[in-house]
């Protein structure tokens, strides 16, 4: 390994130390596009040891639907560096990563130098910030809309009640009863759109108590779906509002159950872990609790993915599209956030809750 380093890239121990400690993944290819060198950052990014990558074709280590390997050939044929932004790669163990890449043919040599910078973390931080901003804007919009709707609804209901007293017979009163019932229904819907109207009452609780209560409710609701647990027993208790958290998790769980209707071998899994050095809305937390709620359903339709947490977004007939909006509001009140990833057969909603958050 050291011979390869010295022949291709490194001339003295100081150079070797610098390259090995770079945060940028460095990969050197020979004329046959086989790996002759990779640094520690490349090992971390590609989740493979340098020893195993040495001598392997780059196409066996990574793949890309975005033509990354063709970019390598293009850089070599043009004999000039090429840069590719937000390239999706898949490692040899089927892990997806997003990178910025620079491909440089070395002067007077047949080797190609590849620099890869993982941007998944930055993309996630940007996505989380966008979710928070959109959620805040949506809440303000809904509050203003609710005010404009509820005022005339109150007038309609009051007028119908007064009219009902003046009507001579029960036949005509049926019409006013319908007006009153429908105004009550619309008022209740508007109230639901506003989400939780009380501040959380937090006490020390185990997140597993929340998950177990939801899991049992779901097991009672559906006998055909397998509810699995994968808990980290070392998780500490955190300050949460028990009832609000149950509602948030239940909203996500019910969505999963609905997605699994009429599916054989339906499965939902609750998984808990600790994440370290995790950023939520620009604030970095030393530790957060991660709760994954996954199902093997058909996945979320691509046309609603970008707007999934907005009110009234639902593909289910009769659905109000408010469940995930409420869940995001509740988790936000606890300083956390909900994210999701979805492909057919594997949809995962992830709740992140900081351990040290205080209101």
Residue 138's nearest CA partner among 321, 315, 343 is 321
Record: fold of 2-118? Beta-Lactamase (3.30.450)
How confident is residue 211, by pLDDT bands cut at 50, 70 and 90? very high
- Residues pairing with 340 in the sheet: 349
Q: Under a CB-based contact definition with an 8 Å cutoff, are residues 240 and 200 in contact?
A: yes
**Does the pLDDT of residue 355 top 70, yes or no?**
yes
Q: Under a CB-based contact definition with an 8 Å cutoff, are residues 75 and 91 in contact?
A: no
Taking the C-alpha atoms of residue 260 and residue 253, their distance in angstroms, rounded to an integer, is: 11
Tokens representing 310?
Answer: 């907005």
Rg (alpha carbons) of the chain, rounded to whole number? 28
Q: Under a CB-based contact definition with an 8 Å cutoff, are residues 14 and 94 in contact?
A: no
Local structure of residue 223 (DSSP, 8 states): S
Tokens representing 73?
Answer: 């050939």
Residue 154's nearest CA partner among 177, 180, 172 is 180
Sign, CA torsion 201/203/208/214: negative
Q: Under a CB-based contact definition with an 8 Å cutoff, are residues 16 and 3 in contact?
A: no
Residue 351 DSSP SS3: strand
**pLDDT tens, position by position, 105-159:** 987 668 899 999 888 777 776 776 676 676 667 667 767 777 778 788 888 989 9
**Range with the poorest average pLDDT among 62-71, 94-103, 330-339:** 62-71
Residue 86's nearest CA partner among 73, 71, 74 is 71
pLDDT (0 to 100) of residue 311: 66
How confident is residue 5, by pLDDT bands cut at 50, 70 and 90? very low
Residue 309's nearest CA partner among 190, 144, 132, 140 is 132
Interhelix angle for 323-333 vs 242-259, to 10°? 150
Mean pLDDT over each residue of the chain, to the nearest integer: 83
3-state secondary structure 260-299: CCCCCCEEEEEEEEEEEEEEECCEEEEEEEEEEEEECCCC
Could you tell me which residue, 290 or 150, shows the higher pLDDT?
290
| Segments making up each domain of the chain, as ranges | 2-118, 134-193, 203-354
pLDDT (0 to 100) of residue 23: 79
Q: Under a CB-based contact definition with an 8 Å cutoff, are residues 259 and 222 in contact?
A: no
> Residues, the chain, total?
359
pLDDT (0 to 100) of residue 2: 36
How confident is residue 1, by pLDDT bands cut at 50, 70 and 90? very low
Correct CATH for 203-354 of 2.60.120.380, 3.30.565.10, 3.90.850.10, 3.10.20.310? 3.30.565.10
pLDDT (0 to 100) of residue 4: 41
How confident is residue 28, by pLDDT bands cut at 50, 70 and 90? very high
Distances (CA, A) of 234 to 206, 208, 231, 309, 337: 10, 11, 9, 31, 22
Question: Average of pLDDT values for 30-57?
Answer: 90
Q: Under a CB-based contact definition with an 8 Å cutoff, are residues 272 and 208 in contact?
A: yes
pLDDT (0 to 100) of residue 165: 87
Distance of CA 276 to the CA centre of its chain: 17
**pLDDT tens, position by position, 168-188:** 878 888 888 889 888 888 887
């Amino acid at each position: 390994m050291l011979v390869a380093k010295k022949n291709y890239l490194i001339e003295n121990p100081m150079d070797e130390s610098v390259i090995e400690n770079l945060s940028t993944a460095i990969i050197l290819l020979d004329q046959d596009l086989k790996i002759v060198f990779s640094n520690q950052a490349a090992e971390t990014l590609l989740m493979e040891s340098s020893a195993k990558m040495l001598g392997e074709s780059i196409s066996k280590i990574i793949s890309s639907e975005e033509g990354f390997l063709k970019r390598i050939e293009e850089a070599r044929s043009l004999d000039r560096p090429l840069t590719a932004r937000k390239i999706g790669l898949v490692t040899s163990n089927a892990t997806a990563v997003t990178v910025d890449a620079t491909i440089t043919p070395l002067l007077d040599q047949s080797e190609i130098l590849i620099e890869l910078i993982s941007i998944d973390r930055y993309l996630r931080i940007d996505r989380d910030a966008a979710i928070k901003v959109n959620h805040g804007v949506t809440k303000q919009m809904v509050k203003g809309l609710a005010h404009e709707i509820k005022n005339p609804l109150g007038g309609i209901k009051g007028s119908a009640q007064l009219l009902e007293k003046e009507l001579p017979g029960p036949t005509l009163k049926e019409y006013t009863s319908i007006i009153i019932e429908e105004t009550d229904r619309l008022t209740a819907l508007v109230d639901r759109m506003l989400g939780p109207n009380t501040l959380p009452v937090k006490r020390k609780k185990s997140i597993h108590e929340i998950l177990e209560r939801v899991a049992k409710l779901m097991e009672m609701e559906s006998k055909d779906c397998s509810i699995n647990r994968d808990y980290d027993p070392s998780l500490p208790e955190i300050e949460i509002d028990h009832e609000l958290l149950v509602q948030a998790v239940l909203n996500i769980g019910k969505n999963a159950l609905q997605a699994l209707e009429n599916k054989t071998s339906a499965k939902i899994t609750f998984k808990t872990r600790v994440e370290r050095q995790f950023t939520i809305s620009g604030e970095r937390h030393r530790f957060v609790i991660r709760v994954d709620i996954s199902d093997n359903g058909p996945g979320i339709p691509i046309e609603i993915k970008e707007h999934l947490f907005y009110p009234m977004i639902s593909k289910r007939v009769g659905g109000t599209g408010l469940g995930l909006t409420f869940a995001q509001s509740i988790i936000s009140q606890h300083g956390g956030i909900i994210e999701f990833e979805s492909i057919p057969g594997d949809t995962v909603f992830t709740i992140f809750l900081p351990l040290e958050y205080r209101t």
